[in-house]
Amino acid sequence: MGQSMTNLNFNTEIPTIGEAKIESPLKRHAKKRGSAKKFVSDDARIIADVQMDNLKTSLKKNLSFDQAGPREKIYFDPSKLKCAIATCGGLCPGLNDIIRSIVLELYHIYSVKTIYGIKHGLQGFIPEFKHDVIDLHPGSVSGIQDTGGSILGSSRGTQDIDQIVDCLERMTIRILFMVGGDGTLMASKKIAEKIEKRGLKISIIGIPKTIDNDIHLVSRSFGFDTAVDVATLAIKGAHNEAVAYPNGIGLIKLMGRHSGFLAATAALAQQDANFVLIPEVDISLYGKTGFLQALENRINRRKHAVIIVAEGAGQNLFEEQEKQFDPSGNIILQDIGLFLKNKITQWFKGKDMPVSIKYIDPSYIIRSLPANANDSVFCGLLGREAVHAGMAGKTKLLVSFWNNHYVHIPMDASSGKRKKIDPQGRLWQSVLEATGQDASFTE
């Protein structure tokens, strides 16, 4: 995986809102099909001790995660249950697949008939925004997997937790599925804590969403595979443009605010890139070992170059700039893509070397696309596992893919932390080998 992860010694037990006493409807479905349904015991665990660079030395020998899957006994009575789904933060391929999977599993497998779609993320819970609520059922989600974005919409920014819980109480919602990134997971954790403080029986299930693939304790996030597919097309285009002109330079900016997984993976998928710049490794621009000199050396040697830069790379070059924040509290990054384009132009102009720079930023195209086949299958599995967890009365968890299994991760263990590339790990070393770039300017 090539990720840098520090101390994983924490409590992995998943909270429940009560004892599961109701026989799962999945038993009846299995009998109708003449087959035995395989249920997962609450004692089933997935060992977290996998060989991942230097991770092994930091793990407790007995650290394991709760295995996801259907339980033989469930907590909620499906005939009286009301559920809700909210999608928050930036758009991502697969959001509609997740919504569809949750709705179909609840409706057809557990016979839950009341499912609400909360419009525009956390804003949908706040009365002053006056967003409508959507009734979700198989007809309303038919075919949505073929469209990008989210049929529920989204929003950014924090909202009052008390008002959100008030809304859940008024609507008598008992399971809330929250689909979002790190900020959404932190909000979900606060909602679950407020629910617990009030003594309510409401389950909060998180489904991690980020194109950057940087959520802690999640080895793969949905939408990432689709993003890599499209990013490789951008790299192909940049390479074709670069080789078509004398001293051609293709510069592609990809998503990756704090982690360079997309840039690194796309570079390995296509292997046309000569330089990959990621947030985990600072960049030096000038001097004999600086990036601009390395780029000049490449142009002199091969007459063209392709550069991939993650959006969060090179922020060390803007240290004098005053930091600004978006409505969700995230730092607004300086535009490293345009910055590099200008610096490259200035450098070669000073050298009296004519170059042809083609700058490509496919970020918002990628975010709003439908999921590819691999991501669509993955979303279906995530949605079903989320429903199984909620119906069993589990709460304050996120559904994760870890060590080739679907598991439940406590929100306390993941929220507020971030997965990053290990600069000494195999993923980054493979990028250096594939590009042949001199690592001296990224140390």
Give catalytic residue positions.
212
Residue count of the chain: 443
Q: Which long-range contacts (CB under 8 A, 24 or more apart) does 18-23 make?
A: 18/75, 18/201, 18/393, 19/75, 19/393, 20/71, 20/73, 20/74, 20/75, 20/392, 20/393, 21/73, 21/75, 22/73, 22/74, 22/75, 22/76, 22/77, 23/72, 23/73, 23/74
Q: Please report how the helices 182-198 and 161-170 are oriented relative to each other, as an axis angle in degrees rounded to 10.
A: 60
* Distance from chain centroid for Cα 187: 16
Burial class of residue 356 (count of CB atoms within 10 Å of its CB; 0-12, 13-18, 19+): middle
> Do the beta carbons of residue 148 and residue 368 sit within 8 Å?
yes
* CA–CA distance, 337 with 334 (Å, rounded to integer): 9
Cβ neighbours for 281, distance < 8 A, ≥ 6 positions apart: 313, 423, 428, 442, 443
